[in-house]
């Protein structure tokens, strides 16, 4: 079958990173996020910078770690993406 509907409609890595940030039970710093979504650290950081440039995330330094938090706009988009991904996964089954 090849490419899934999810891969067809959205950039999977970016969507997974944004949705992962909305999960309150995860540590939201770059290396943890990259591990959770199966993405390289450098690619994760590039995506996070793009999110920051667009006002979807904010970073706060806690010790040696830069913690990433969704802004209100980021939370809204993450919710919508999570719903879309869930719907696309249901359509594939």
Q: For position 1, what pLDDT does the model report? A: 53
Beta bridge partners of 59: 68
Residue at 65 is within a domain:
yes
Residue at 93 is within a domain:
no
Distances (CA, A) of 3 to 13, 30, 41: 14, 27, 24
For the chain, what is the domain count?
1
Residue at 79 is within a domain:
yes
DSSP for residue 25: T
Residues of the chain by 3-state class (helix, strand, coil), percent to 5: 60, 15, 25
| Domain span including residue 15 | 5-88
Q: How far is CA 29 from the centre of its chain?
A: 11
Report the predicted TM-score, pTM, of the whole model to 2 decimal places: 0.83
Structure confidence at residue 69 as a pLDDT band (50, 70, 90): very high
CATH code, domain carrying 12: 1.10.10.10
Residue at 62 is within a domain:
yes
CA Rg, the chain, in Å?
A: 13
Q: For position 68, what pLDDT does the model report? A: 95
């Amino acid at each position: 079958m090849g490419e899934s509907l999810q891969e067809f409609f959205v950039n999977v890595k970016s969507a997974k990173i944004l949705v992962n940030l909305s999960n309150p039970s995860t540590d939201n710093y770059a290396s943890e996020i990259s591990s959770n979504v199966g993405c390289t650290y450098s690619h994760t950081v590039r995506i996070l910078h793009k999110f920051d440039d667009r006002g979807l995330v904010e970073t706060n330094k806690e010790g040696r770690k830069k913690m990433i938090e969704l802004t209100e706009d980021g939370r809204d988009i993450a919710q919508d993406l999570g719903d879309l991904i869930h719907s696309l996964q249901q359509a594939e089954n």
